């Protein structure tokens, strides 16, 4: 039985393709990952910046996410310093967002009369983005598979209208669907004819080993500190020059360098809050500059809209 | 109930259902109370008697059924008295504005305007149509949100999660209303997965049963019972015993519309992790119950509560949950193993990097202070002999130095509520006295919590609280009103319970004074005024609150404490209890009456009756009565003689802590003082006699004050 179930289940890449097809068919633009190192799909400017303002915005994308402190040298079956999030943003949040979401679970093979799907309170907050929302973590048989949030604020500004955000943890979902206990055993792709399939481990195990070592032991902290300062200064210059998208890139950069410094263990408890506040200021400043650059167009197109 | 309106009995049942996306489980009880409050208020304002009504909640709906509402409100005639007809025109204008009438509609009765306003009865249906949107708009959630297209405006409706439907049926009639783009209707929805389509409700009477047929048990108490009993049965069927947890019952009932408890097992190997860790992991992260084996030890089982009748009977659900729990327990075991790769002393080194409070230094510095109080000061203060103090000192120091080390372990980082307990496990090789002291340092956490189990723990726990009280009071960060961010009331209560219940003889003043502020608190020249007096007063205040339940009168605590110098809680309470027994006796009540009379007379004569503070020099305020005075009567002399006997007897008894004897000595004054008031006049025309008698009364009050300040006693 187990074998039959396994061959029937989607490979990692087919799961992504299925989600793309599902959300594409519901009007989402399928974007590509942002080409910078970020800690979560929310950092993609398609979420952070585009969740601001009155314009409708419906997109879905995969975002590689880096969390240096979660690295385990490839030795832990569940924890990775690099993993994937599947991110869906629907603005304004549609009335049937929960139903659409549940439809996507069915599409990748989760039967809600066989598995226990639950919406469990989990309010989302990102201190570094000055953002928060209300929603749930979605449980499937007790496992958190998705973060489901109605954004209320981003960069310290009210979301008007509110966007619905779905963040799927792809590896967890795939482990669930494929019924494997170790992330490296996931079928990334299936064999086709003579061409063998590859496992998640084939693709990423070596990365996890090397990057865990670099994150925790090797990365040069002086360069990281210098990089943080440079990104901070560049972000402020870009804000002053009224190029908020470029400014936001530097905010992302600073955020990631801060995460690396944390992994290197060189930021004391006392300094931590201070660094987080600096990153938040950059993110908020970029959001504000983005709003400033767009608000004339927004109010022209959406009379009555106010910040 | 027999109610009549317009000659016809007309009562009708009302159903209201407010549907929304999943309401957080922890908010549902509060939401029911809020709906109750708002519905009552709306109906009361309209003059509708609501009688009995029920309120239920599920994750997806709040429901209210009010039975037997009258169909219409009674017509009422309201009469308002206005200004005199001769009053200035402004008064009349104001009255007209207030009533909305014109002058010719007013009645002039003997020169005073009256407004008679007839309010016709209103149809209840009409009242409800206005009340429902008002209730929804006024509803207070702990956190609320905006959503959807309307949220482009800041004024859009707020609700805990998107509001998705309103059912409002009065009898069988729809109450039409609309709020935030959601219009009322007859349709609701059943279970999200078992019965996803619309279902039509006919009236309040078929609501619960129609939902039940669609896999929704709307009554939260019924769901709680299903979980409570079902979880116990699932465990019993496997020969195990459920560890009851009512909080989990309520939470799971708030997460399900169709609860199905299911038993699962996990790998026995995880049982090497402390049982508290397993229970906490299961409860906090997964909302599972845990189970015990026949011997009462934690077994490798759990009970989860599903929200569906799964097509396979739940096998897949259990398998999935088992896997999640296994991953959680692997993490816990990893923390458990990692933490033990270092000694507690090595962990403790990291405390130097953690700020306790910006004005009170790092946790390391706090540990140093606690260690100094526990190992160096407390043994002497509580009267241990030198040998015992010397023997115990290394144990005290070890326990105090390591007490906070578990704060930087992985396990406590993950589960902060395990602080102390993990220290206990990690200190197991250091001896049970030290390990238990570490475990017990935060005890007692409340009025019913256990006290530290051994002497080392008692002293470390006391030192922990003393340091917190001293530090925060010295920086003027005292609790105010409902604000007590540093839990100082709990620290005070803990201090009281440890001292009183262990019969520790300690002067609170000595405990809190003579602290090396500059050195231990790293004060850097910060403003500092000795907080000792304030802390002791705070502790006495908390003592009154704490003792109230034991039936000890707060005014008697004041009466003893007001004497000053009584800062030994054990002695203070013994004295208060003897006093309370005395006050309950006939002698006590009469003596109090005599005392109050004496105090009044003295006050009128401008003679101070305040008890001399302990340690104050001499009793200068009272004029002593000369032993031999020519003008004295037998009654005067009898009182004097009684005082001569009672005063030293009471003083000696107090000194020996024979408080019942002290009360007996006071009781001996009752007859002579009664006879004195009956037999002589204090304010004798002869100035010398008057002065003599005032002196006698001053001595009498003074003698009473030797035992307690009777001026603080009520009654």
Check: CB of residue A134 under 8 Å from CB of residue B161.
yes
Q: How far apart are the C-alpha atoms of A183 and A175, rounded to whole Å?
A: 6
Q: What is the pLDDT of residues A3-19, one digit of tens each?
A: 444 457 999 999 999 99
A305 to B152: CB separation less than 8 angstroms, yes or no: yes
pLDDT at B537 over 90: yes
Copy the structure tokens of residue B71. 């169909």
Chain A residues with CB under 8 Å of B317 CB are 114-116, 141
Q: How far apart are CA B692 and CA B566, in angstroms?
A: 32
* Residues A202-211: tens digit of each pLDDT: 999 999 999 9
The answer to whether B334 and B424 are in contact (CB under 8 A) is: no
- CA angle A139/A143/A147 to nearest 5° reads 50
pLDDT, mean of residues B372-381: 92
Cβ contacts of B534 within 8 Å, gap of 6 or more: B473, B478
Grouping H, G, I as helix, E, B as strand and the rest as coil, residue A267 is coil
| Band of pLDDT at residue B239, cut at 50, 70 and 90 | very high
CA distance A55 to A199: 41
Distance from CA of B108 to the nearest CA of A (A): 53
Please list the ranges in chain A whose pLDDT falls under 50. Answer: 1-6
Q: Identify whether the C-beta of residue A154 lies closer than 8 Å to the C-beta of residue A129.
A: yes
d(CA A269, CA A253): 21
* Lowest model confidence (mean pLDDT) among B204-218, B305-319, B682-696: B682-696
Q: Which residue of A has its CA nearest to B351?
A: A269
Cβ contact, residue pair B310, A268, below 8 Å:
no
The rounded distance, in Å, linking the Cα atoms of A184 and B140 is 48
User: B645 CB near a chain A CB, below 8 Å?
Assistant: no
Residues of B whose CB is below 8 A from A183: none
Give the C-alpha separation, A212 to A120, whole Å: 32
Residue B618: pLDDT over 50: no
CA atoms of B547 and B527, how far apart (whole Å): 35
**Mean pLDDT rounded to a whole number for chain B:** 90
Please give, rounded to a whole number of angstroms, the shortest distance from the CA of A232 to a CA of chain B: 26
What is the ipTM score, two decimals?
0.93
SS3 B479: coil
B311 touches chain A (CB under 8 A): yes
pLDDT number for residue A269:
66
Neighboring chain A residues of B307 at a CB cutoff of 8 Å: 116-118
CA A201 to chain B, closest CA, distance in angstroms equals 19
Q: How far apart are CA B562 and CA B543, in angstroms?
A: 14
Return d(Cα B142, Cα B195) in angstroms, integer: 30
Q: Which residues of A touch B316 (CB under 8 A)?
A: 114-115, 141
Contact call for residues B709 and B562 (beta carbons, < 8 A): yes
A134: distance to nearest CA of chain B, Å?
7
Query: Running DSSP on this structure, what letter comes out for residue B159?
Result: B
Q: Which residues of B touch A113 (CB under 8 A)?
A: 193-194, 308, 310-311
Instruction: Kindly report the nearest CA distance between residue B354 and chain A, in angstroms.
Output: 7
Q: Which residues contact B655 (CB under 8 A, 6 or more apart)?
A: none
Q: Establish if A300 touches chain B: CB-CB under 8 angstroms.
A: no
CB atoms within 10 A of CB A55: 14
For residue B59, the chain A residues in CB contact (below 8 A) are 119
Model pTM? 0.79
Report d(CA A3, CA A5) in Å as an integer: 5
Distance from CA of B57 to the nearest CA of A (A): 16
Contacts of A203 (CB under 8 A, 6+ apart): A188
Residue A8: per-residue pLDDT: 76
Name B442's Cβ contacts closer than 8 Å, sequence gap at least 6: B419, B420, B461, B464
The pLDDT confidence band at residue B316, using thresholds 50, 70 and 90, is very high
Q: Is A269 at the interface with chain B, CB within 8 A?
A: yes
What are the tens digits of pLDDT across the range A221-269? 999 999 999 999 999 999 999 999 999 999 999 999 999 998 888 887 6
Beta bridge partners of A62: A86
Residues A205-214 as b/e (b if ≥16 CB within 10 A, e otherwise) read eeebeebbeb
A269-301 helix and A244-263 helix, angle to the nearest 10 degrees: 160
d(CA A218, CA A210): 10
Owner of token pair 């409100």:
B73
Q: What is residue B240's three-state secondary structure?
A: coil
Q: Which residues of A touch B145 (CB under 8 A)?
A: 133-134, 150, 152, 162
Q: Between A95, A135, A141, which is nearest B148 by CB?
A: A95
**Closest Cα to residue A144, out of A125, A163, A116, A164?**
A116
Report yes or no: B255 and B305 within 8 Å, Cβ to Cβ.
yes
CA distance B26 to B38: 20
Q: What percent of chain B has pLDDT over 70?
A: 94
DSSP 3-state of B602: helix
Interface test with B, best of A116, A152, A164 (most B CBs within 10 A): A116
Q: Which residues of A touch B194 (CB under 8 A)?
A: 113
Q: Where are the alpha helices (DSSP H) in B9-86?
A: 28-46
Q: B323 and A181 in contact by Cβ < 8 A?
A: yes
The CA R_g of chain A, rounded to the nearest whole Å, is 20
What secondary structure letter does DSSP report for A53?
A: S
pLDDT band at B119 (very low <50, low <70, confident <90, very high): confident
Could you report the per-residue pLDDT of B482-524, keeping only the tens digit for each?
Answer: 888 899 999 999 999 999 999 999 999 988 886 666 667 665 6
Interchain contact A221–B (C-beta under 8 A): no
- Residues B136 and B179 sit within 8 Å (Cβ to Cβ): yes
Quote the CA–CA distance of B331 and B284 in Å, as a whole number. Answer: 14
Phi, psi of B241 (to 5 degrees): -120, 130
CA gap B471, B527 in Å, rounded = 12
Q: Within a 10 A sphere around the Cβ of B418, how many other Cβ atoms?
A: 20
Q: How far is CA B361 from CA A84, A228, B289, B516, B528, in A?
A: 42, 29, 41, 15, 15
- Whole-number Å distance between alpha carbons of A173 and B686: 103
């Amino acid at each position: 039985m187990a074998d039959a179930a396994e061959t029937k289940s989607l490979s990692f890449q087919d799961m992504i393709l299925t989600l793309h097809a599902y959300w594409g068919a519901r009007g989402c633009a399928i974007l590509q990952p942002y080409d910078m190192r970020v800690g979560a799909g929310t950092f993609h400017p398609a979420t952070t910046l585009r969740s601001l303002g009155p314009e409708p915005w419906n997109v879905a994308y995969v975002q590689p996410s880096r969390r240096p402190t979660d690295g385990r040298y490839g030795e832990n079956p569940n924890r990775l310093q690099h993993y994937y999030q599947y991110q869906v943003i629907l603005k304004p949040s549609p009335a049937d967002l929960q139903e659409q979401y549940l439809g996507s679970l069915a599409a990748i093979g989760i039967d809600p009369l066989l598995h226990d799907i639950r919406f469990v309170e989990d309010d989302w907050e990102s201190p570094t983005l000055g953002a928060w929302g209300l929603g749930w973590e979605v449980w499937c048989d007790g496992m958190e598979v998705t973060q489901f949030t109605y954004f209320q604020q981003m960069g310290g500004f009210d979301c008007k209208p509110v966007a619905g955000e779905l963040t799927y943890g792809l590896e967890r979902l795939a482990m669930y669907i494929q019924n494997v206990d170790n992330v490296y055993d996931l079928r990334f792709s299936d064999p086709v004819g003579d061409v063998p399939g590859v496992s998640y481990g084939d693709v990423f195990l070596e990365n996890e080993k090397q990057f865990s070592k670099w994150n925790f032991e090797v990365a040069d902290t002086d360069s990281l500190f210098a990089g943080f300062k440079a990104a901070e200064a560049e972000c402020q210059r870009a804000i002053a020059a009224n190029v908020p998208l470029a400014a936001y890139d530097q905010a992302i950069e600073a955020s990631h360098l801060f995460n690396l410094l944390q992994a290197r263990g060189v930021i004391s408890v006392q300094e931590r809050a201070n660094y987080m506040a600096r990153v938040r200021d950059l993110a908020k400043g970029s959001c504000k500059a983005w709003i400033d650059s767009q608000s004339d167009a927004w109010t022209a197109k959406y009379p009555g809209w106010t910040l | 109930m027999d109610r009549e309106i317009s000659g016809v009995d007309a009562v009708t049942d009302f159903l209201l259902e407010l549907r929304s996306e999943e309401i957080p489980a922890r908010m549902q009880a509060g939401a029911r109370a809020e709906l109750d409050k708002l519905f009552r208020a709306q109906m009361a304002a309209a003059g509708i008697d609501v009688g009995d009504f029920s309120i239920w909640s599920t994750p997806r709906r709040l429901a209210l059924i009010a039975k037997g509402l009258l169909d219409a409100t009674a017509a009422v005639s309201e009469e308002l008295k206005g200004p005199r007809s001769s009053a200035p025109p402004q008064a009349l204008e104001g009255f007209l504005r207030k009533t909305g009438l014109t002058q010719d509609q007013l009645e002039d009765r003997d020169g005073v305007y009256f407004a008679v306003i007839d309010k016709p009865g209103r149809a209840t249906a009409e009242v409800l149509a206005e009340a429902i949107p008002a209730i929804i708009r006024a509803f207070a959630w702990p956190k609320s949100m905006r959503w959807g297209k309307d949220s482009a405006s800041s004024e859009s409706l707020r609700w805990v999660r998107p509001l998705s439907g309103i059912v409002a049926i009065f009898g069988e009639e729809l109450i039409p209303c609309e709020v935030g783009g959601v219009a009322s209707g007859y349709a609701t929805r059943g279970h999200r997965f078992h019965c996803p389509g619309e279902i039509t409700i006919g009236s309040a009477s078929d609501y619960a049963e129609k939902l039940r047929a669609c896999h929704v048990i709307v009554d939260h108490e019924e769901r709680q019972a299903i979980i409570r009993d079902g979880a116990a049965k699932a465990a019993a069927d496997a020969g195990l015993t459920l560890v009851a947890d009512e909080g989990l019952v309520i939470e799971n009932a708030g997460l399900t519309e169709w609860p199905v408890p299911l038993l699962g097992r996990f790998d026995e190997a995880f049982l090497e992790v402390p049982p508290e860790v397993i229970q906490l992991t299961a409860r906090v992260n997964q909302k599972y119950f845990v189970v015990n084996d026949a011997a009462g030890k934690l077994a490798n089982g759990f009970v989860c509560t599903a929200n569906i009748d799964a097509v396979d009977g739940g096998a897949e659900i259990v398998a999935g949950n088992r896997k999640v729990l296994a991953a959680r327990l692997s993490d816990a075991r990893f923390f458990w193993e990692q933490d033990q790769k270092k000694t507690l002393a090595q962990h403790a080194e990291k405390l130097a990097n953690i700020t306790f409070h910006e004005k009170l230094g790092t946790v390391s510095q706090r540990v140093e202070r606690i260690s100094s109080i526990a190992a160096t000061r407390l043994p002497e203060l509580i009267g241990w002999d030198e040998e015992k103090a010397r023997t115990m000192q290394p144990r005290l120091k070890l326990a105090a130095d390591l007490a906070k080390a578990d704060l930087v372990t992985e396990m406590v980082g993950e589960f902060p509520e395990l602080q102390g307990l993990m220290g206990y496990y990690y200190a197991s090789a250091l001896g049970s006295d030290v390990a238990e002291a570490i475990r017990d340092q935060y005890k007692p956490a409340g009025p019913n919590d256990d006290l530290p189990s051994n002497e080392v723990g008692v002293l470390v726990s006391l030192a922990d609280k003393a340091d917190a009280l001293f530090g925060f009071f010295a920086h003027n960060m005292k609790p105010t009103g409902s604000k007590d961010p540093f839990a100082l009331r709990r620290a005070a209560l803990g201090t009281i319970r440890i001292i009183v219940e262990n019969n520790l003889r300690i002067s609170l003043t000595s405990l809190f004074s003579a602290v090396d502020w500059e050195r231990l608190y790293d004060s850097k020249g910060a403003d500092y005024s000795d907080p000792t007096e304030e802390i002791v007063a705070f502790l006495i205040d908390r003592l009154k609150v704490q003792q109230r339940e034991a039936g000890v009168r707060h005014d008697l605590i004041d009466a003893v404490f007001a004497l000053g110098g009584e800062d030994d809680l054990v002695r203070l309470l013994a004295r208060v209890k003897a006093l309370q027994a005395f006050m309950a006796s006939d002698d006590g009540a009469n003596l109090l009456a005599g005392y109050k009379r004496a105090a009044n007379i003295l006050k009128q004569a401008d003679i101070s009756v305040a008890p001399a503070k302990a340690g104050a020099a001499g009793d200068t305020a009272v004029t002593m009565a000369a032993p031999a005075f020519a003008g004295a009567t037998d009654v005067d002399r009898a009182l004097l003689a009684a005082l001569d006997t009672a005063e030293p007897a009471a003083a000696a008894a107090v000194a020996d802590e024979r408080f019942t004897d002290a009360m007996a000595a006071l009781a001996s004054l009752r007859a002579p003082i009664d006879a004195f008031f009956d037999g002589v006049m204090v304010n004798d025309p002869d100035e010398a006699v008057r002065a003599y008698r005032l002196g006698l009364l001053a001595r009498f009050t003074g003698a009473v004050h030797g035992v307690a300040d009777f001026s603080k006693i009520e009654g």
